[in-house]
Every structure is written in structure tokens, then in C-alpha cells.
Chain A
Amino acid sequence: MKIFFQIIFVIFLAILQVSVIPHISIFGVKPNLILAGFPALFYLSSFWEILPAVLIGGLFYDLSDFYLGAYSLPFLTTFLLLWFLSRKYISGSHFLVLGILGTIIFNFLFLSFGYVFGMDHFFDYFLSWRHLIEIILNGILAVLFGLAASFIKNRKS
């Protein structure tokens, strides 16, 4: 049952990403809501409970673009790396750190996959100051989602 909660949460974030976010972007930069939601999901659920949600979130983004797998594969890899980091090296609930690291890892992987698979090269964005804004935005959102997750967890216990 918990798996469905994660999936619904991720689908909700994906819908917001493609509908509302383009209208409230800051300096034209859109935050990545699903990515910012990862740390909160880590805090609330286990690996296997989050995995289907990550794949569905990636697939939702994939459907908005031409190359199926262009988002899912970086999402999956980012999820695995973040999960590993959050269990081995980042103790406690460091939502901000995970949000920032997640953005850098995901964007780097997206850029690399895009380059290797001949989609396009996205170096211009990755090296621009707007990328820095996205990192900060995702970090802030990760903290907000994390606080909401802590609130939910405290109410349950």
C-alpha cells in the first residue's frame, strides 16, 4: 500500500512540473520537483518502496520528450547513488545536501547520456549560472519536502 503512496506523490510532482512550474520559473529556471522529492522519500520509505515511484517519475518525464529512457536512466542512477550516499556517508536527515547532490548528479548524468547517445549536447546549460540557481532551488525544495516528511512521520509515531 505504501508503494502506491510514493507513486501518487511522484505523479503529483510530475504533473506540477509540466503544468505549473513553467509559469513560476525563476530567471527562466525550472526546478526539478521529482528530484527534490527524493530525500523526503528516502526519509519515509525503504529502497524497494521508492524504486517503482522513481521509475514512474522518470517515465512521466520521458513521455514529455522524444527519447524514451533519457530521463528514466539518469533518474534511476541518481536514485541508486543517492541511496548509497545517504546510507553510507550522509548520516541523519540532510535534505539540503541530498537535494543539492542529487541535482548535480542527475544533471551530470543527463548531460553525459545526452552526449553519448547523440541527442544533443547540454554543456551550455550545465556550465551556466542558471544551473547554480537550479541547484539552490532544488536544495530549498528538498528541505521543504523533507520538513513535510518529518511532520508526517512525527504525527504517525
Chain B
Amino acid sequence: MKKNPVKKIIFFSLIIIIGYFSFSAFTSHSSAAQSGIMASLFNPFREYILKATDGIANFFSGFFNYQAIKEENDRLIFQNRSLKSLLNSFVELKNENESLREALKISEKQKLSFILADVISRSPLNFSQSFMINKGTAEGILMNQAVVWGGQVLVGEVKDVSEDTANIRSINDNEFRTSVFVGEKRIEAIFKGQGLERAQLDLVSIKEDIKAGDRIITSGLDKKISRGFYIGEVKDVKKTGGKVFQEIIVELAFDWSQLEQVLIVK
């Protein structure tokens, strides 16, 4: 009986692929496919897939959400006009602030430097809220560095890094935690991502006065993420009798899944 050569080819290919995957999986944290020749082979392909699929997604998004987009557009036009009027007073305040700093000899805040990176892929299923960027240790990216976008809004942290790529854990991933200040009173809390659920603030005593709309910024007290990055605002506060801590729901400033570029804080 003649053996089918296609089956042989598939069988041997399978062994090679499984062997390679197993090797990748057992090689420290990062996959062997994220560095060297494999990365230069896969990264352009990843980028191309993301761009192509984003194009398709945008088409369908516009198709399904026409009415919502129209309403949002009207609202944004209104907000834009209001913000323009506020801008004048902001410029005045900035000048005044600079004069006062000069007068009081207050040194400027420590300036941060950033690395700009492109998002090349996003996790396709429900488990993890993470994405990949096209910069790695070769450009000076290290584990646990903060990732920001748009006026220092915190987007996530570097979860894993190889020579040419890095994996970013977004702030609403289940495993993301950081210490924050809430509102003008700067009440300390722990911000925690909740995966597909809305993010929450933890360890806030029931006695503390927190209300919807309070701004949340990183406190830097965990020595992981620097102070002053904006996360979002308080969406809802629930105080249940008999409980020690409040249940605080957070409205994030950014939807990480829409980002195409990010800045990594050095």
C-alpha cells in the first residue's frame, strides 16, 4: 500500500512546530519568537495584520454606529467650543504660574523622557487585556516601565520584554495594580484592573468622602509607576453598611484597544 506523502509532510511539519513552540514556551519569560530573526520576520506581518484588520473594524464600526457617531460628533463640537473659551484663561494662569515659580524659586518638576512605540498587535480573546509594541530592550525598554499616551494618561505597564518587542499589560487587565490619589483631598487607594469588568479602587475606608467625578492620578507610593499620571475618574461609589471599604467604580480615560501608538516612560 502506497503511503500518502502529504500526510508525511504534515506530520513532520507538526513535529517541528510543536518542538519550536515548546522550546519557546520553556525559554524564560519571553518567547523565542519575539527576538532576533524571528521578530524581524513576524513583526512586519503583525503590523500589517493589525492595520488591515483595523481598517475592516473601522468600516463596520461606522456602519453599525452611525447614529451614535453623529451624536458624539455634535457633542464634541460643543465641547470644542467650550474648551476654546477656557483656553484663554488657561494661558493666563500658565503665565501667572511661571511668574510665581520664578518669584518663589521653585524648581520645575522632574522631566520625564519617553520612547515612542507602535502598537503591532492586540490580544484576540477574552483572557488578557494586553497588546504588543515594536520596541524592546534594544531601545532601552525594561520590565514594569509605565506606558502612557495623550498628555500623560496612564495606559499600562511593560509586562514582558524581548530584544525587539514588548508586551504591555493595560490598566484594566486583571493583574494590573497601582497606588493612586483620588480627588482634591488626595485620598490614597489601590487601583485594580478588572479585565472585562469596570476597573475599581480598593482599600478606601468607608469614612472617606469620595464622589463621582473625582480625578484619579498615580501616587508613586508603590515605587513602580511615577507620581502624577492620570488614570480616569470615579464613576460610581457604593457604601454598604457593615463593610470596611467602599466599592468604587472607575471610568478610564482611554480605551487601550483603540491606541495605535504609545509612549514608554524611561
Q: Which residues of A contact B (CB under 8 A)?
A: 3, 14-15, 17-20, 22-24, 27-30, 32, 48, 51-52, 55, 60-73, 76, 107, 110-111, 113-114, 117-122, 124-125, 128, 130-131, 134
Shortest distance from the beta carbon of A38 to any chain B beta carbon, whole Å: 15
Given contacts A51-B14, A66-B165, A122-B128, 14 further A-B contacts (CB under 8 A): A18-B122, A23-B60, A24-B64, A28-B197, A64-B49, A65-B124, A67-B25, A69-B21, A69-B25, A70-B31, A117-B25, A119-B128, A122-B127, A122-B174
Q: Is the pair B31, A69 in contact by a Cβ cutoff of 8 Å?
A: yes
Known pairs A66-B167, A125-B196; A130 contacts B57 (CB<8 A): no
Query: How many contacts A-B (CB < 8 Å)?
Result: 144
Shortest distance from the beta carbon of B165 to any chain A beta carbon, whole Å: 7
Known pairs A63-B46, A69-B21; A29 contacts B196 (CB<8 A): yes
Q: Is the interface of A mostly helix, strand, loop or mixed?
A: helix
> Number of contacting residues on B, CB 8 A?
55
Taking CB as reference atom, which chain B residue is nearest A126? Answer: B127
Query: B121's contact among A65, A71, A111, A124, by CB below 8 Å, is which?
Result: A65
Q: Is the pair B18, A76 in contact by a Cβ cutoff of 8 Å?
A: yes
Shortest distance from the beta carbon of A34 to any chain B beta carbon, whole Å: 9
With a cutoff of 8 Å between Cβ atoms, the chain A residues found around residue B13 in the complex are: 55
Q: Is the pair B42, A63 in contact by a Cβ cutoff of 8 Å?
A: yes
Taking CB as reference atom, which chain A residue is nearest B57? Answer: A19
Known pairs A20-B57, A76-B18; A66 contacts B30 (CB<8 A): yes
